[in-house]
Structure 1
Amino acid sequence: MNPLRYPESTIAAVATAPGRGGVGVIRVSGRALLPFAQAISGGKTPKPRYATYTDFHDAAGEPIDNGLMLYFPGPHSFTGEDVLELQGHGGPVVMQMLLARCVELGARLAEPGEFTKRAFLNDKLDLAQAESVADLIDASSATAARSALKSLKGAFSHDIHQLVDHLITLRMLTEATLDFPEEDVDFLEAADARGQLHRIRAELDAVLGHARQGAILREGMHVVLVGEPNVGKSSLMNALAGDEIAIVTDIAGTTRDTVREEILIDGVPVHVIDTAGLRETEDVVEKIGIERTWAAVGKADLALVLVDSRSGVTASVEALLERLPPALPRVTVYNKVDLSGEAAGQIEEENGPAVRLSARTMAGVPELRALLLKAIGWHGAEEGLYLARERHLDALRRARAHLDAAEAAYQQIELMAEELRMAQSALSEITGEFTPDDLLGVIFSRFCIGK
């Protein structure tokens, strides 16, 4: 552990979720915790990595609770320091009493993500693996959980390290030619430097493809439902969610505010936002709802434009389409085919894909679900998929741009060597070899307490 980056202190936190439960766990991490364990257990010396049944004592020697104590001496622990886990009864009062006793014994309350941050700083996890701890906890589907576990076990990091190793080899070759300028290009040609560069780019493209899919699985997409009043936006939201989320009536203007719901389509989270019907109105409350509708449109990844299939795209719908941001992808949904008599299913129009469906009978809804996944670029839970974050994608894109620049500077060895160095630096940000401390603070502050 680098003492300049991290203070030597003992930290403690409740590691289980807030509220009542059968079991509650307090986690402690620091240096030389054996005396700490003896003090809280009334003099017992726990055997490393074995469960010790004991009472947990206050300063006067009176029992606070009883349960299991587990002691993991560093460096063979999650954080790389001594770690103590106190497993007692999961009542909030008894957990706070036990935590207060830990503070009396010299611990301080842990910050969000501080245990995992110490694991990173003590080289127990790299940064990508550390982030996957939070992703595993926050996973919204079984597919996301499996992918997060792959990242935690090092699949993503392995691919990044492999890319970095290949870049280092090419950098060594390239920078060696700087000592022999009269032979530089011929030397590179003989060593197939250009071929190595092409292979590294192909490997990076494959990693970037997996990362893009992983980012979709982690972040999902935000879909906003827009249209005139009483075209069935709330009914469609209920159909997609499989539950009565939004109020549905025949009265135009029933939805006066945005209603948000997360649904899963093939394990991918889709954040659906039902909005107020867009029309001219003097109703103050409805006007506020319409303002919020346009705010939601501005933040969406995709707009589902609902149209009554009986009337089709009217002049007012055309006006609505013109007001949508030009860069916002949209899908036209012709609802109420059960009333118009049209066949449900996907169709292609001049302005893009469209679907005919009935939110009431569910006809055509599966086709819309498939179209949503296609719109976001989801290819399915392919082998080797790992979760990725936007900062990972940004680093991979920058590394790819530097490799392209290195290719363009092939005849200028100094420039090529510098672009390769910058590509390596961008990739190393992912695993944390070169990561500013302020970025680490942002990353770990988003973890839950006790992790």
Structure 2
Amino acid sequence: MRDYLCEDTIAAIGTPIGRGAIGIVRISGKDSLRILQEMFRTKSGERKEHFDSRKMYYGVVVDSSGEPIDEVLTVYMRAPKTFTGEDIVEIHSHGGIVVVRKILREVLRRGARLAEPGEFTMRAFIHGKIDLVQAEAINELINATSEVSAKVALKHLEGELSKKIKLLRDKLLEAKAYIEAAVDFPEEEVEIIESGEVKRRIQEVLNGIEKLLSTYRDGRIIKEGIKVAIVGRPNVGKSSLLNAILQEERAIVTEVPGTTRDIIEETVTLEGVPIRLIDTAGIRESSDVVERIGIERSLRSIERADVILFVIDGSCGFTEEDLKVSEMLRGKENVILVLNKKDLGLKVKCGEVSDWRCVEISAKSGEGIKELATEIVNMVLLDPETVLKGDDVLITSERHRELLEKARDSLIKVVNSIEAGFESPEFLSMDIDAALNALGEIVGQVTTEDMLDIIFSRFCIGK
């Protein structure tokens, strides 16, 4: 059960578990300084009662019997000018699981409790140090898989998205005030419908919401990566292509058809975008039970993929088996035809075989791999040049998308009511309030404990 009143003092290991040069134990709450005073000793073995805020001290930490645990550097940060808004202590010891865990156990023995996932960040939110978008951005930054996704998360953390949401809410509040003026001051003859002022203001907010929503597809791709399925008949070089893109021998490559019997999934960054590559079993009719299972999984991967790389052996042209795979992919617009084995000479050329996008490559020599990567990114991103710079604010969260759509739908009702001549200010205000609440939920101005539990449970412990 989370402590939403922040009455407990919490502690956790703030560095990855395992061997390392430094390990950090973080403490936050009203007992942080007391715990440090009880555990810390100067190099000469004396207790220290006074700690200046934000000053690093060198000494040792001891257990309850006074035995040294490790030499440390420690810092005390006085509230409220801290990350969580509470007193914070950090103990920097030598890395290594034994030492760091022993220090944490001693901190817990002296009255702190183990922090839950994301609880430090949650306390920063509760104490008004960051809003909910910024809190989520911290987790996105930690889990960023590419330079572009890190840039997008950093923009959220710096408050760029929050500013846009606040601007939309402010405009809605102005529109609502205009409606309420018609109710409160009828003698002034404020005409809601005829003046069109409310409709104009609402439409302006709707345009802003639509603009943000239009970034979600690119934002999701930047955050989660592009799912790319490599498909084709056996022995056309699918596994060689996977290895060429990864620049390592990940998949077994032989002359024997059907070597790959299960899907192999790897992640790589191409053109600054995370790509989830799926090397599938060669698609053909087979009597082998294991191979058939692999082929069935290949077919499922095709349906889930953002991009399908249809690989053929360009040195021998289309075969009957290639044509069967082609029929399976008919009507799909997310296919890139890959003519492999260019080093052996191609019997077919791009532009001669289909209306799909097409790239000529040699998985063996690496020729054409960069062009293929560019083609993959350009197929999926709506505005590759702008997105890859990482300068724009993008919607990356499904939660944000749903709430923006909820706000949009409420405002569309307002516009429709005005256009239909439905002049009840009370009902118009209700729909505007629904939009305000939806936008408020994005930044955390409107929250529930259940919603906070869901969001912060995705964090690691210690953050």
TM-score, scaled to structure 1: 0.90
Shift of 1:270: 0.9
Alignment partners' CA distance in 2, 1:383 and 1:27: 33
Unaligned runs of 5+ in 2: 42-46
Alignment partners' CA distance in 1, 2:413 and 2:345: 57
Kept after mapping to 2: 8 A contact 1:29/1:115: yes
Kept after mapping to 2: 8 A contact 1:211/1:387: yes
Shift of 1:93: 0.6
Alignment partners' CA distance in 1, 2:364 and 2:184: 75
Kept after mapping to 2: 8 A contact 1:143/1:381: yes
Kept after mapping to 1: 8 A contact 2:212/2:394: no
Matched, 1:360 2:370: no
User: Which residue of structure 2 aligns with residue 383 of structure 1?
Assistant: 391
Matched, 1:114 2:119: yes
User: Which residue of structure 2 aligns with residue 129 of structure 1?
Assistant: 134
Alignment partners' CA distance in 2, 1:178 and 1:118: 41
User: Which residue of structure 2 aligns with residue 445 of structure 1?
Assistant: 457
User: Which residue of structure 1 aligns with residue 8 of structure 2?
Assistant: 9
Kept after mapping to 2: 8 A contact 1:58/1:64: yes
User: Which residue of structure 1 aligns with residue 417 of structure 2?
Assistant: 409
Alignment partners' CA distance in 1, 2:235 and 2:325: 15
SS of the residue corresponding to residue 166 of structure 1 reads: helix
Shift of 1:36: 1.5
Residues 274-423 of structure 1 aligned to structure 2 (within 5 Å):
274-310=279-315, 312-323=317-328, 329-341=334-346, 347=351, 351-377=355-381, 378-379=383-384, 380-386=388-394, 388-410=396-418, 411-414=421-424, 415-423=427-435
> Structure 1 231/56 Cα, relative in aligned 2: closer, same or farther at 3 Å?
same
User: Which residue of structure 1 aligns with residue 201 of structure 2?
Assistant: 196
2:440 aligned to 424, 428, 433, which one?
A: 428
Alignment partners' CA distance in 2, 1:184 and 1:436: 40
1:187 aligned to 188, 192, 200, which one?
A: 192
User: Which residue of structure 2 aligns with residue 162 of structure 1?
Assistant: 167
What does the per-residue CA deviation read over 1:187-218, in whole Å, with 9 as the maximum and x for residues that have no partner?
Answer: 35437323222322232233334454333221
Q: Match for 1:127: what amino acid? A: L
> Structure 1 271/50 Cα, relative in aligned 2: closer, same or farther at 3 Å?
same
Residues 240-259 of structure 1 aligned to structure 2 (within 5 Å):
240-259=245-264
Matched, 1:18 2:23: no
Alignment partners' CA distance in 2, 1:63 and 1:199: 65
Residues 81-230 of structure 1 aligned to structure 2 (within 5 Å):
81-179=86-184, 186-190=191-195, 192-230=197-235
Alignment partners' CA distance in 1, 2:374 and 2:360: 13
Computed over aligned residues only, the root mean square deviation of the Cα atoms, in angstroms, reads 2.7
Shift of 1:442: 2.0
Alignment partners' CA distance in 2, 1:280 and 1:183: 80
> Structure 1 184/310 Cα, relative in aligned 2: closer, same or farther at 3 Å?
farther
Kept after mapping to 1: 8 A contact 2:271/2:374: no
Shift of 1:299: 2.6
SS of the residue corresponding to residue 229 of structure 2 reads: strand
SS of the residue corresponding to residue 389 of structure 2 reads: coil
> Structure 1 184/362 Cα, relative in aligned 2: closer, same or farther at 3 Å?
farther
Q: Match for 1:330: what amino acid? A: V
Alignment partners' CA distance in 1, 2:315 and 2:448: 58
What does the per-residue CA deviation read over 1:132-191, in whole Å, with 9 as the maximum and x for residues that have no partner?
Answer: 111111112222222222211211111111111111111221343345789988335437
What does the per-residue CA deviation read over 1:254-275, in whole Å, with 9 as the maximum and x for residues that have no partner?
Answer: 1111111111122111101001
Q: Match for 2:158: what amino acid? A: K
SS of the residue corresponding to residue 278 of structure 1 reads: coil
Shift of 1:319: 3.6
Q: Match for 1:110: what amino acid? A: A
Alignment partners' CA distance in 1, 2:101 and 2:436: 47
Range with greater deviation from structure 2 (101-110 or 410-419): 410-419
Alignment partners' CA distance in 2, 1:173 and 1:396: 23
> Structure 1 192/358 Cα, relative in aligned 2: closer, same or farther at 3 Å?
same
Alignment partners' CA distance in 2, 1:184 and 1:138: 56
Alignment partners' CA distance in 2, 1:179 and 1:251: 83
What does the per-residue CA deviation read over 1:282-321, in whole Å, with 9 as the maximum and x for residues that have no partner?
Answer: 3233223223223323332222222233454555444434
Q: Match for 1:40: what amino acid? A: M
Alignment partners' CA distance in 2, 1:325 and 1:107: 62
SS of the residue corresponding to residue 449 of structure 1 reads: coil
Equivalenced residues, count? 448
SS of the residue corresponding to residue 191 of structure 2 reads: helix
Kept after mapping to 2: 8 A contact 1:230/1:250: yes
Alignment partners' CA distance in 2, 1:305 and 1:283: 23
What does the per-residue CA deviation read over 1:42-97, in whole Å, with 9 as the maximum and x for residues that have no partner?
Answer: 43122111112121011111211121111112222111111110011112111111
Range with greater deviation from structure 2 (434-443 or 265-274): 434-443
Kept after mapping to 2: 8 A contact 1:27/1:86: yes
Shift of 1:447: 1.1
Alignment partners' CA distance in 2, 1:184 and 1:32: 61
Alignment partners' CA distance in 2, 1:20 and 1:176: 65
- Percent same amino acid among aligned pairs? 40
TM-score, scaled to structure 2: 0.88
Range with greater deviation from structure 2 (436-445 or 107-116): 436-445
Alignment partners' CA distance in 2, 1:385 and 1:175: 33
Unaligned runs of 5+ in 1: none
> Structure 1 211/341 Cα, relative in aligned 2: closer, same or farther at 3 Å?
closer
SS of the residue corresponding to residue 115 of structure 1 reads: helix
Kept after mapping to 2: 8 A contact 1:217/1:387: no
> Structure 1 283/400 Cα, relative in aligned 2: closer, same or farther at 3 Å?
same
